[in-house]
Structure 1
């Protein structure tokens, strides 16, 4: 009996020791395992850091925290309209010239520029912003044309020389555009858009990348064709009219939304130490949804594709000298949009040319 009791007591003591060890082990595991909140924060940090993950044999990351830069910007645009009769007129304003300082901190880059031509009465309004990480880029733009357009070219169905009307001021044209382009850089570890267009990295070896993106823009074009026709006929004669028999008072006034998907290629050529020559081109297939007065009654699939789908484009080009501390260069971004209906079509191009010089300071 005593022997049986002692055996049971020893067995109980062994179980208690084993349970204690299990409790201590789980407590240690809990103390080592991070909390859910900490894991979420670490995950967010890793995700954000992945946007700057690069192959340092090709791309030299930014070594400094802050930068200052002076930039001179030229903005330009043109609109070409075409009627069903084959008449076309191209409007272009005087280029806008801006100058101002910029200050940057890591991804954030802010500045203020003065429109030198606005001092002479130009009321154009525009806002353009491009934001780049290693993997993605975003273009934002908001533009009002102003009232300083001139007729830069004209083509009439009749054989009439347009020389007398070229360069004439025309106040009956108004256009607005709002929108964004978002694109993904496939070879982001070796190719850097930032090296060419935001100077926040340095491309050390030549590399290229495919680009894929989406975009959405809102357009409004308002052309007073009656006023335009009066201007043209007063200078070229009554036979130079551009008004068709079916044109109404609202003809030439249109609003449309452009939804697009795009693909393209970009390349950075390092042709000398601290130098890079950059170029990229993306073509976008855009669906145009009209909300204005220009409509078509066609309903076949071919007519739908012809009058609602068009090819747009974005081009970027630049040349930069950057030794990590000092940098200087030039860059340009061009956007083109096409819109077509059975009796009225427009082609729009706008862009910026930037000349800049700056330096970085305070090492990371």
Structure 2
């Protein structure tokens, strides 16, 4: 059985076609598959209950440019809001709907506006972990305040800077019968005993970083070897390995940690106006997930952080470009038993996840 968690945010029209492709890929998880066996002494499933949730979340796709001689990196971040949402999970289907909270978000007068379509779909199956990304951001500012700016009390704002990236990672859980990702991230299962799992798989990404002018401002040219670069195209793919573990305290309290590391083959092309150079190298990338909270038969509460780091090395230097994609989320969820009428409507989902011979 599969569970899909899909998140999308406003409003970047060029990425709409990609959004449909990613949604279709995630929806493909609804095909009938044999039901994997699991050890009910380690975690408990709730196949006939709805998990309803309310949550606060913040997503990001940031960019860092490494400087010379251990100089602090040049960090660009978009202006993304804190979102409040509601959602539900039943069987293989998860749906979340969120709305921005203006008073918890940074004032765009200081950092500029960002236009974005942020798609993060995390598919948690009993034996598989699949992450899909479609990131389309325009409008960044340097952080912290004063960095890269000629005025220490203001932000250096770049409304022209874009980061576009699509990709996926797929990992096999070797101990899915005792370890549950869904207990931590979807709240529709309950990990009652500590357990972990080795992860084996791989990833592939492609994208572009660009600005209307050089990504490094002119007055900082001497500190960054990438100072003339105004565009980077990249493609990476390779194998990965990792480990995930949930520590359970007194059955109800838990901490889940997961890390995967890849050794990607990386193709990076840097542009200086009409001139360009390409470099092929090995890129070590990391994916980290950390969740802590409370779980029981009725209620669950947790705080989660997911972060994927993609390293890029261009021909201009060994100094890296780093793209970080992730989210923070605080969630409160309750398991509910549907009534007779709703059960009939949910039967189509039951049929999709029913085992086949």
TM range (shorter): 0.7 to 0.9
Q: Distance in 2 between matches of 1:85 and 1:253?
A: 23
Q: Distance in 2 between matches of 1:115 and 1:125?
A: 14
- TM-score, reference length from structure 1: 0.71
User: What is the aligned-residue RMSD (CA, Å)?
Assistant: 3.2
Q: Distance in 2 between matches of 1:288 and 1:171?
A: 28
Query: Mind listing any 5+ residue stretches in structure 2 that lack a counterpart?
Result: 1-30, 344-357
User: Could you list the per-position Cα deviations for residues 60-101 of structure 1 after superposition, in whole angstroms to 9, with x for gaps in the alignment?
Assistant: 122533222112111234311247898752212345311111
Seen in structure 2, the aligned counterparts of structure 1 residues 243 and 252 have a Cα distance that, compared at 3 Å, is farther
* Contact 1:64/1:361, CA 8 A, preserved across alignment: no
Aligned pair partner of 2:221 in 220, 223, 241 = 241
Q: Distance in 1 between matches of 2:68 and 2:59?
A: 31
**3-state SS in 1 of match to 2:182:** helix
Partner of 2:300: 327
* Contact 1:63/1:324, CA 8 A, preserved across alignment: no
1:295 aligns with 2:273: no
Partner of 2:335: 360
Q: 1:118-137 maps to which residues of 2 (within 5 A)?
A: 121-137=113-129
**3-state SS in 2 of match to 1:241:** helix
Seen in structure 2, the aligned counterparts of structure 1 residues 192 and 168 have a Cα distance that, compared at 3 Å, is same
Seen in structure 2, the aligned counterparts of structure 1 residues 245 and 146 have a Cα distance that, compared at 3 Å, is closer
Aligned pair partner of 2:141 in 125, 136, 149 = 149
Aligned residues: 295
1:339 Cα deviation (Å)? Answer: 0.5
Seen in structure 2, the aligned counterparts of structure 1 residues 247 and 149 have a Cα distance that, compared at 3 Å, is closer
- TM-score, reference length from structure 2: 0.73
Q: Distance in 2 between matches of 1:334 and 1:83?
A: 22
1:253 Cα deviation (Å)? Answer: 0.7
1:153 Cα deviation (Å)? Answer: 8.2
* Contact 2:238/2:263, CA 8 A, preserved across alignment: yes
Q: Distance in 2 between matches of 1:94 and 1:315?
A: 23
1:268 aligns with 2:241: no
* Contact 1:172/1:227, CA 8 A, preserved across alignment: no
1:110 Cα deviation (Å)? Answer: 0.8
Query: Mind listing any 5+ residue stretches in structure 1 that lack a counterpart?
Result: 1-43, 234-239, 297-303
Q: Of Structure 1 and Structure 2, which has the larger fraction of its residues in helix?
A: 1
Segment drifting more, 182-191 vs 91-100:
91-100
Seen in structure 2, the aligned counterparts of structure 1 residues 123 and 61 have a Cα distance that, compared at 3 Å, is same
User: Could you list the per-position Cα deviations for residues 208-249 of structure 1 after superposition, in whole angstroms to 9, with x for gaps in the alignment?
Assistant: 11111111111211145547434xx3xxxxxx434989976x
Aligned pair partner of 1:349 in 313, 316, 324 = 324
Partner of 2:164: 176
1:104 aligns with 2:89: yes
Partner of 1:258: 236
